[in-house]
Amino acid sequence: MKQVLLVFLGGGFGSALRFLISKNLNSVSSIPLGTLLVNFFGSLLIGFILGLGMKQEAISPNTTLLLATGFCGGFTTFSAFSFENQALLKAGDYINFGIYSAGSIFLGIAAVLIGIWLSKLS
């Protein structure tokens, strides 16, 4: 039950922060900038956390649940990414659809790799 509560708490904080960032940044650009940044930084953070978790005793399994599964799971969002891409396609905005889709995928994978690399430096 403790593990479920850790995921629940982390997910709540992550979701609230994602909402605030997306609400304030998605309207400043023709692509959903808030979601893009949230997914990039969430990917960076989960890479760092899981990289630390690979080190013996660098981070506890419960901390990994709270931060990686809970916070990062609530903070990043594939469903919003998919919906926003659908909206770009529906509007016929194929250039921004391509930039946003490719950028999100590339930046997300790159951020995880960078996060793992950063965890090895600590």
Contact predicate 76/43, CB 8 Å: yes
pLDDT given for residue 84 in this prediction: 92
Prediction pTM value: 0.83
Cα separation values, 46 from 21, 26, 29, 92, 107, Å: 18, 22, 26, 33, 13
Mark the ranges of the chain whose per-residue pLDDT is less than 70: none
pLDDT given for residue 97 in this prediction: 97
pLDDT given for residue 1 in this prediction: 93
pLDDT given for residue 53 in this prediction: 84
| Per-domain residue ranges of the chain | 2-121
Torsion 51-40-20-18 (CA) sign: negative
pLDDT given for residue 93 in this prediction: 97
Binding positions: 73, 76
Binding positions for Na(+): 73, 76
Angle at 103 between CA 99 and CA 106, to 5 degrees: 145
